[in-house]
Chains A and B, each alone.
Chain A
Amino acid sequence: MELLDFLKNHLNEGFLPLTTTFEAMKTFTCNFKDVEEMALKHNILPLRYKRNQKTISTHEQYTLFQSTVLVIGCGGLGGFVSEMLTRIGVGNLILCDGDVFEEHNLNRQNFSSPKTLGRLKAEVLKENLEAINPALHVRSITTFFDPIADAKLIQEADVVVDALDNPDLKCLLAKLCYERAKPFVHGAIAGYYSQFSTSALLEPLYTQKGDGVEKKVGNPAFTVCFAASIQSAEVVKLLLGKPHLQTPLMGDLWEYELISL
């Protein structure tokens, strides 16, 4: 029996369950990703995406599965953006960060825990994300963002996510993406506040050089997760060719306002 026939004969209410995927891997000597690819290609939705379905069609799910997203920075924003992209079904992630988890990251950074202190953030994320979704392919780059070395990574990605914590580097990454016409999702936070823009240069948001107000007011978890959600929504919209942000968006969790500039 061919793999596809096997899958069709072992569905659960029309969805591909994990048990069938594991059985197929043994029977046909292939990996998890191969099985999911065969299913999605033939309009069979893995059961894990059942609750995506009213929002994301099976065809769109296959588009996400084939997509590659580059996340630069694996701290607050990068940790939650990459988990959301993993759960929603983006197939390939490249995670870039040379930093290790430290104790002052525990208030907000996904997958930081007393056990992971001192470990490279990009590697810890890779392990956890692949455990969540075995169909996912993650490449961890354990060096800090470097405009020359990372230009190649930008070319490989369908969308680039700015999860850096330095305004000058954010501007530089936006410029690299803009020059290459590469879809780019900016996000930044400080205290109760956040800002976003998609596929645009960032100088209008950073009139002056140097660090922002986050150095004084810090980064609480709720602002991190809020900002990561908006960035993740933008990434998915870009990958699926849906309408996305056309002007910068400023988020205010103190007065609960979203302001389009």
Chain B
Amino acid sequence: MHVIVKLFAQYREGRFKAEQREYPNGTTAQTVIDTLELERVSPLGVLMVNGRHVAPSYILQEGDEIALFPKVGGG
């Protein structure tokens, strides 16, 4: 299935801003995070699919748009 992956802030470095990517049916948001090795950069901050906050266990559907932001906590 096709999923649009949008990355923000430090997650973009050495990766991409937005890409349509191919994943097997049943792929979770966590799998997308793992395959892109995002958590080597930073723990996850915001995870949204189609503009709504979801849990990492969310199972992606054909045509979904997933947006991923690193965790920002400085003051």
A binds B: yes
Query: Chain A interface (Cβ within 8 Å of chain B)?
Result: 73, 75-78, 162-167, 170, 187-195, 204-214, 216-219, 248, 250, 252, 254, 259, 261
What would be 26 A-B contacts, judged by CB atoms less than 8 Å apart? A75-B75, A162-B75, A163-B75, A166-B73, A188-B75, A193-B9, A204-B53, A206-B73, A207-B43, A207-B46, A207-B47, A207-B55, A207-B56, A207-B71, A210-B43, A211-B43, A212-B45, A212-B74, A213-B9, A213-B43, A213-B72, A213-B73, A214-B72, A216-B10, A216-B42, A261-B48
Q: A188 to B9, alpha carbons, bound, how many Å? A: 14
CB within 8 Å of A: which residues of B?
8-10, 41-48, 51, 53, 55-56, 69-75
Q: How far is the CA of A211 from the CA of B71 in the complex (A)?
A: 8
Q: Within 8 Å CB of A218, what residues of B?
A: 74
CA distance A195 to B55 in the complex (A): 20
Give the nearest-CB partner of B43 in chain A. Answer: A208
Cβ of A205 and Cβ of B9 under 8 Å apart? no
A212 to chain B: which residues have CB within 8 Å?
A: 42-43, 45, 70-74
A188 touches B10 (CB 8 A): no
| B38 CB to nearest A CB, Å | 11
On whether the beta carbons of A208 and B71 are closer than 8 Å, the reply is yes
For the complex of A and B, list the 5 residue pairs with the smallest distance between their C-beta atoms, beginning with the closest.
A212-B73, A214-B74, A213-B42, A165-B75, A167-B73
Contacts of B41 in A (CB 8 A): 213, 216
The reply to whether B74 and A78 form a contact with Cβ atoms under 8 Å apart is no
Option from B53, B55, B74 in Cβ contact (under 8 Å) with A188: B74
